[in-house]
Structure formats: C-alpha cells, structure tokens
Amino acid sequence: MCVTCGCGESKLAPRMVAGRDALTLHLEEKILGKNDAIAQRNRDWLAARRSTALNLVSAPGAGKTTLLERTIRDLKDELAISVVEGDQETENDALRIRAAGAAAIQINTGTGCHLDAEMVERALHALAPPPRSLVLIENVGNLVCPALFDLGERAKVVMFSVTEGEDKPLKYPHMFSAASVMLLTKVDLIPHLRFDVERAVANALQVNPALTVLNVSAYSGEGMERWYAWIRSETSGGR
C-alpha cells in the first residue's frame, strides 16, 4: 500500500478514525521528506556529471515506451541516452529500449504504484550514465502518486493520449500542475476518433497555464522535431 495516497485500501466512502489524520500526515511528511532529500542527492549527482534527467509520466497505454524508442533512434547519434524503466512487473520495456539502442535498467515495483527517489538513485549508480548525457525515466503508468514524488529530475513530462478523454487534465490536476511539458500523443489517430484537441489543450492549460504543449505521434513522426528541440534546450545547459 502507498501510505501517501492510500491506494491498496478498499473503502467505499471516506472514513474518519480518531487520531488517524494526524498519523497519516506525519507519515506523509516523513516519507516525502526522506524522498526529497534523496531526490536532491540525485539532482546533485546528475549536475556534477552535467547530465539531465526527465521524468515521463502518464496513465497506462499513453505510449511512453513507443515514444522513447523513437526518441532514442532519432537522437542516439547526437546524445548519449540512458533509460530507467518503471513497471510493476516484467522486463519487457527495458528489452525494447535496449533493442532501440540505449542502456536501460528495469525497476519492478511489485504492488507499488510509482518510482521513488531511492529507487532511481540505485538505478543511476547501476546505469552509470556518461557525463553530459540524458537520462529518461519512464515512471509506472499512474497519474496520481508520481505527481508527489520528486526523483531528482529536471522536469516532469506528462503524456496524454488522444485515445483518452479530453477531461483527463481536470480529473488528474496535480499531475498536470507538476509537469513542465505535456505531450499529446498518438495524434495520427485523430481522424479516426471523436477527440477535441482544442478542448483537451484548453483543459490542460486551465490547470497549468505555464504548460508547454506539444502534439506528437511516435508512429508517424508528426511533432517529434518540436519534442527533440525541447530536449536539446533542456540538455544544452549541461554541456
């Protein structure tokens, strides 16, 4: 069970238990405080190597791994890329990433619903990414808990697929508020769907007016150059 969000508990309605709110708050502060300290350690470790980490977050099926595969294939000749893969089970995504040409380490969280900074710290030391490189973290598919956990990344990148509802940013505002960039993915499917792009983007900007929005398709390549330009702008400071 994730203490900070209560996932894993079965409850049909909110319950109030004497003293429980104070205990939960104390546990949240303790867990997140420890996490933030390790996240800062990760950030310092990456900065010393003039490297950049990006934390990719989304609901399951938004296309994170497919986007990473294309990004690696298109940028690997100009930028050293390593990947931290987070899933509850299997090494499937890490195998795909290695086949695309990048070093990858798989973290299986079991019943856990997110990566935390300590997991990423261990992964970074195991990967040992070279100086002046890019570390892409594919978080567990979940739009709730990953919003709370700093991993030491430069930015969170939230991915939102056109196969989802336009109101997704309104339903999960904390994740969209925490992100610096929103990738609206699978845009090659728009002609086959009843999806209102303008409404979806407006909902995201309502939650986070500072959000950079990029419409992309890892399948067709549409919009990917804008994504690569953003990556270059984020990594150039470490060069």
Ranges under pLDDT 70 in the chain: 1-29, 237-239
Q: What is the pLDDT of residues 65-108, one digit of tens each?
A: 999 999 999 999 999 999 999 999 999 999 999 999 999 999 99
Kindly give the residue spans of alpha helices, DSSP state H, lying in the chain: 20-48, 64-75, 92-100, 117-127, 168-171, 173-178, 197-207, 224-235
Q: Which two tokens stand for residue 34?
A: 């420890």
Distance CA 58, CA 14 (A): 26
Domains of the chain: 20-238 (3.40.50.300)
Q: Which two tokens stand for residue 180?
A: 């610096």
Amino acid at the residue 214: L
For 47, the 3-state DSSP assignment is helix
Taking CA atoms, 6 is separated from 119, 144, 176, in Å, by 20, 11, 20
Taking CA atoms, 193 is separated from 157, 190, 197, 218, 232, in Å, by 24, 5, 11, 17, 32
Burial label for 5, CB within 10 Å (0-12, 13-18, 19+), is middle
Nearest to 156 by CA among 67, 49, 35, 53: 53
Strand partners, 213: 182
